[in-house]
Amino acid sequence: MANQWFETVAVAQERAKRRIPSSVYGALIAGAEAGISMNDNTTAFDQLGFRPITAGQPAERRMETTIMGQPASMPVMISPTGVQAVHPDGEVAVARAAAARGIPMALSSFGSKPVEDVCAVNSQTFFQIYWAGDRDSMVARMERAKAAGAVGMILTLDWSFSHGRDWGSPHIPQSMAIKELLPHIGEVLARPRWLATWLRRGTIPMLGVPNFVTDNSKPPPFFEAYGTWMMTPPPTWEDVAWLRAQWDGPFLVKGIARADEARRAVDAGVTAISVSNHGGNNVDSAPASVRTLPEIADAVGGDVQVLLDGGIRRGSDVVKALALGADAVLIGRAYLWGLAANGQAGVENVLDVIRAGMDATMRGIGVGAIGDLTRADVVIPDGFCPPRIS
């Protein structure tokens, strides 16, 4: 068998593209409308520079930290993403990889594997929830996660339900019925290695969401759960405070893009926030997460942990985010490409790539510990950050 190791996330993405059906790959790279925000998430990191040093570089670099009370070997956390049909092991493979590399895992309530299975292989699992359904059902899902061993809660709020994409949205079957699957037969047969991986396990990709129910009953189809989420009136900050009060551990709100809302989140009692535009799937033309990070970190960085989600492809991106005020980052597409390319080993490969990139960057700029990073280590171009919102 050919060597499946890859040295950059870009190579993992290319291998994922060649391995999985085109509609599955299309779902991984999808962004809202024209994809302006999605593309800006990575472009913004490219616009930031470093000030390297020539001599006196630290012999060792320290990256260990604590993320929402959980020890981590580096300031990186697995971001919650929906149904992971890119590989039969899905979120369980990701959780194992995260545990093997000593970082926390976040499981989506739209994940394809039960929270019990994920917590069983990673004791640092956070459960992600949407404001969907009535209050009793939300509390019941949280209680199920706690019983399974989840150590924290993530409430995702950044989503506008925009379906229009200039390049077209990938067709996702609403069920595994024959009539729904027929349009996909050609693209599946064109990826025989991917198909063989599933056949060897004696299973097929499932589109149910087992964590949307409150027990071990039959999971609802993805689009049924998605419809419930869409039809639930958006929460107020008072609702967020109420939901936070139902959980007695770490609680992160994901989707903050403004300093004034970051302060509202602090007032609601959260212990952490994630600066995020949902990977470019919220309101298109919203700025890249890293552009709004400095303003938000200045506003609330002393009160809660500040994480960043969106556009992380290299270890140097992590270093830039930390220098601009983040305590840690969440990665999404990067690990999904690793999972698609080579299962658990592919996710571990991505995490190793990111760690090595951090190490090389920190050495190059003469910083021996992540806590010593400052904005002076980064070259920020004029106009990089949007005007501040007071």
Catalytic site residues? 278
The H or E element spanning position 275 is strand 272-275
Contacts of 56 (CB under 8 A, 6+ apart): 366
Distances (CA, A) of 112 to 116, 141, 300: 12, 15, 34
Tokens of 300: 């609330």
Tokens 């630290």, residue located: 58
Q: Report the alpha-carbon angle 121-351-69, nearest 5.
A: 60
Please choose, from the candidates 294, 232, 239, 292, the residue with its C-alpha nearest in 3D space to the C-alpha of residue 265. Answer: 239
d(CA 145, CA 148): 5
Tokens of 18: 């060649």
Please choose, from the candidates 130, 206, 210, the residue with its C-alpha nearest in 3D space to the C-alpha of residue 172. Answer: 206
Tokens of 148: 């399974």
